[in-house]
Structure 1
Amino acid sequence: MSPIQVLHGQPTPEELATVLAVVQARAAAAQAAAEAARQAGGPADPWNDHAKRLRPALRPGPNAWRTSAWA
């Protein structure tokens, strides 16, 4: 983890400890989610999910022959 600097204000030690605990908990949760996705075989990040870019399967329905020529 990179060092954290206070750029503005004078936080008390309790406030600083609270902020650091929240940041640490969020980092641990993100790491656990990435590990769970890696074990499940899926992408760790939804932005990297290439399956979402694929066109959904075509499903014929009423008047499908007519609407097949639409742009």
Structure 2
Amino acid sequence: MTAPEEKPLLKVVKGTPDDYQLAALTAVIAGLASTQPAEEKPERRPEWANPARRVRRSLQHGPGAWRASGFPG
């Protein structure tokens, strides 16, 4: 039983690198492949841009309404 032919991990297209250069390149590529991508956190929206702040409660009527409009409780 023969083993299937494997594709090389790296292929030199131009130039003649020595063993040390290939080892350095392999180490860099292996290091990059082993790192995990950073978690993407959802962009936090500032509170002043919250659309709910545009909606206003209805104003109270009656005595003291002017005070309640400035100091909602």
Structure 2 length normalisation: TM-score? 0.42
Of structures 1 and 2, the larger Rg is shown by 2
Structure 1 length normalisation: TM-score? 0.43
More helix as a share of residues: 1
